[in-house]
Amino acid sequence: MYTEIDWDDMVEFFSLRGSYNTWIQKGWKEIQFVRVREDRNLFISVPSTFTEDGQRECGKDAIRCLLVRLDTLRLVWQLKPTRREENWKRYLGIRLERLERLLELAGLCPNCAGFMIPRPTRDQSAMFWSCIDFPNCRGSRRIPEDLQHEILKQTRFYK
């Protein structure tokens, strides 16, 4: 069942997690909660749907969880969104833990030593580690079967 989440709920949730800051991307109205990993050239972003003057931009949309490239601001991976339901803190927490863990598991590109991100195969049936600099760099590595399964389940795909 839909649960209203107000600004204070979100601030409390992220303050308990630590290392998250609020940020407004240039050209956006929406405040994002971000965890920056400069060493990975990435940041985790959770758009809040709240604007600076406290207005909600959208209605009952689910909470998105994004992995964004730091230097180009390009979206590189997206988790399945979290519904605004009673247990949202628990589910969003699990998603963020997975994302944070993934940043620890992904290694460096064998070609250019850039950071690697999960990327689906063309038919979206499998995932592999791909250089963050794709398509400029084609460096890739296999993802172990069990982790691949977990990542596939969590990924939000677009047609």
The residues of the shown chain that bind Zn ion, judged by CB under 5 A, are 109, 111-112, 114, 131, 133, 137, 139
Q: Which amino acid is at 83?
A: R
**Residues facing 77 on adjacent strands:** 67
Q: How far is the CB of 133 from Zn ion (least distance, A)?
A: 5
Q: How far is the CB of 127 from Zn ion (least distance, A)?
A: 17
Q: How far is the CB of 108 from Zn ion (least distance, A)?
A: 8
How many helical (H) and strand (E) elements, i.e. helices and strands, does the chain have? Answer: 3, 8
Which 3 state secondary structure label does DSSP give 93?
helix
Distance separating the N- and C-terminal Cα atoms of the chain: 27
- Looking at the Cβ atoms of 102 and 131, the one nearer to Zn ion is 131
- Looking at the Cβ atoms of 88 and 115, the one nearer to Zn ion is 115
- Looking at the Cβ atoms of 47 and 139, the one nearer to Zn ion is 139
**Residues facing 88 on adjacent strands:** none
